[in-house]
Amino acid sequence: MIPLRDNQPTEKFPAVTIALIALNIVMFLAQWQLPLDQSLAAVPFEITHHIDLVGRLPLSESGHFLMRGQHAAHVLPYGVSPHPLWITIFTSMFMHGGLMHLGGNMLFLWVFGNNIEDALGRARFVFFYLTCGLAATVLQIATDPNSLIPVVGASGAIAGVLAAYYLLYPSARVLTLVPISWFGFFVELRAGWVLAFWFALQLYQGLFGIGMERAGGVATFAHIGGFLMGLLLIHLFGGRRLARRQSRRAEMFTAPPTERGYS
């Protein structure tokens, strides 16, 4: 299911959401000019072993480092990573593996991020976004600490945004494209249904396909980690109070003019 837009109004201009989208796009364009793919990606083996892997390293089909004497299925180039190596946990949030990867993430961020920024305020939204992204990458690394497959993408941080939206706006309507083979149809669905289905899919892929190599290269545990951190942070930020406030604001925006106190 591909969300296209929601019916949840906002009061403030989503400056942070737009800035995050712009930064991701700029970083993606920079990847075409500079060898940033590996050097700024979060490589689990590098972080857990405190080793900057520079050059060409022998890998197995599952993306794990091979010891001397073992047959290498293929090799993967790496550039010099920034130091300390844990910085790549943050830089990897703004790297993407391709145009579809970038486009899908930015679409989700645009549809759902502006409302969470509106609810939290700009400063707290920046903290929320980066913390969810941090938790996402840490959990992905913890599930496969010896992997040499680079972890890249904003989807972990955006998963936290989806969790916040799930708690604050479960009744919002989301215009969704449901693709079937080469065709598709549009339908309006409750946000709670769309996001619950998305998270259930991540759990299924994560639990039955441990490791990115079994999930088609998708860091499903990053999605799970970001979503769970999003639930926690929204609770700490006063989730029920925020939900009530946003519900009252939505009713005000959707009420007829005479019921809003002006004509």
State how far the Cα of 32 lies from the Cα of 203, in Å rounded to an integer: 33
User: What is the overall mean pLDDT for the chain?
Assistant: 80
Mean per-residue pLDDT for 200-215? 69
Q: Specify the higher pLDDT residue, 184 or 260.
A: 184
Which amino acid, one-letter code, is at 256?
A: P
Mean per-residue pLDDT for 159-168? 94
| pTM of structure | 0.81
CB 128 within 8 A of CB 160: yes
pLDDT for the residue 31: 78
Q: Which of 109, 106, 153 is nearest to 128 (CA)?
A: 109
Mean per-residue pLDDT for 170-182? 84
State how far the Cα of 47 lies from the Cα of 113, in Å rounded to an integer: 29
Mean per-residue pLDDT for 140-153? 88
The DSSP string of 25-39 is: HHHHHHHHHS--TTT
The DSSP string of 120-132 is: H-HHHHHHHHHHH
DSSP 66: P
Considering 105-119, 169-183, 196-210, 243-257, the range whose residues carry the highest mean pLDDT is 105-119
State how far the Cα of 108 lies from the Cα of 191, in Å rounded to an integer: 12
Q: Could you tell me the pLDDT band of residue 77, with boundaries at 50, 70 and 90?
A: low
